[in-house]
């Protein structure tokens, strides 16, 4: 269960210059909707907001950010993919910050449907990946689950923000912040990954992309955060997972 202190957020990493914050939750906002995580990276007084979430979360996330940094210090907002639980608040964030927004080039034409007419502050992420301000970098994660999907890696904190990779589906009132027992946690990630991730071939491509990274923590957009020991177990589990089109006959039979 999430305790009252954690509802306000949790510092995942901090040194004299650099910090990473999970921006908390409100269990009432998760009733009947997909639970999401938002993250703030602050480096030398400048900030990046990662997967800021949908419209209905905006006021709560603004309040959480204000405990750590002023909104005008947010220089970049990144979106791992196009889903509304990730990006439907994009127009609001562009309204209250001067941030440059990064999203896959595949989804540029979708942005007017979220109310974005002026694309001058949007930077499309191309297929080869790129480095970012604040020492961050993009890592491709295509087809996990979106065909234009990106992770963000922070080499200072050694945290990788993985979007839907590692996502868990909590029962009502069952949310927790950190994965302490991976074996118990598996039941909350198994069905989601088997149904939503495109294929094990896509998994293998992503594992090759992160093979050279020193990862202390996996921070997904849904569910709980994996500290190093749980992250190692999760990656080993994911490596052999049959998912998506690997299971297409089973999925078609079940109708799920």
Domain spans of the chain?
Answer: 4-254
Q: What is the rounded distance in angstroms from the CA atom of residue 204 to the CA atom of residue 211? A: 10
Angle at which helices 182-196 and 228-239 pack, to 10 degrees?
40
**DSSP E strands: which ranges in 150-205?**
150-154, 159-163
Kindly report whether the peptide bond that precedes residue 60 is cis, defined as omega within 30 degrees of 0. Answer: no
Superfamily in which the 4-254 domain is placed by CATH = Ribonuclease Z/Hydroxyacylglutathione hydrolase-like (3.60.15.10)
pTM of the model: 0.93
Nearest C-alpha neighbor of 186 from the set 201, 174, 169, 202? 169
CA distance 74 to 5: 24
- pLDDT digits (tens), the chain, 256 positions: 565 556 778 999 999 999 999 999 876 665 656 789 999 999 999 999 999 988 888 999 999 999 999 999 999 999 998 888 888 889 999 999 999 999 999 888 888 888 888 899 999 988 665 678 899 999 999 999 999 999 999 999 999 999 999 999 998 888 899 999 999 999 999 999 999 999 999 999 999 999 999 999 999 999 999 999 999 999 999 999 999 999 988 878 776 6
């Amino acid at each position: 269960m999430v305790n009252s202190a954690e509802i306000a957020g949790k510092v995942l990493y901090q040194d004299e210059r650099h910090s990473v914050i999970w921006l908390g939750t409100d269990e009432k906002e998760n009733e009947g909707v997909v639970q999401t995580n938002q993250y703030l990276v602050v480096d030398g007084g400048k900030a990046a907001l990662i997967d800021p979430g949908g419209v209905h979360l905006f006021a709560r996330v603004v309040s959480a950010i204000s405990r750590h940094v002023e909104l005008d210090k947010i220089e970049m907002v990144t979106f791992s993919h196009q889903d509304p639980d990730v990006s439907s608040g994009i127009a609001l964030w562009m309204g209250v910050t001067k941030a440059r927004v990064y999203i896959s080039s595949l989804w540029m034409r979708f942005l007017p449907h979220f109310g974005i007419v002026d694309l001058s502050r949007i930077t499309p992420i191309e297929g080869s990946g790129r480095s970012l301000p604040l020492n961050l970098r993009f890592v491709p994660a295509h087809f996990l689950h979106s065909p234009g999907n990106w992770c963000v890696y922070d080499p200072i904190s050694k945290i990788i923000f993985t979007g839907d990779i590692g996502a868990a589906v909590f029962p009502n009132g069952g949310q927790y912040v950190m994965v302490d027992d991976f074996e118990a946690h598996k039941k909350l990630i198994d069905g989601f990954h088997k149904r939503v991730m495109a294929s094990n071939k896509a998994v293998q491509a992503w594992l090759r992309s992160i093979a050279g990274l020193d990862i202390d923590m996996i921070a997904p957009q849904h569910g709980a955060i994996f500290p190093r020991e749980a992250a190692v177990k999760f990656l080993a589990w994911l490596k052999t997972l049959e998912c998506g089109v690997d299971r297409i006959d089973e999925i078609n039979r079940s109708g799920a």
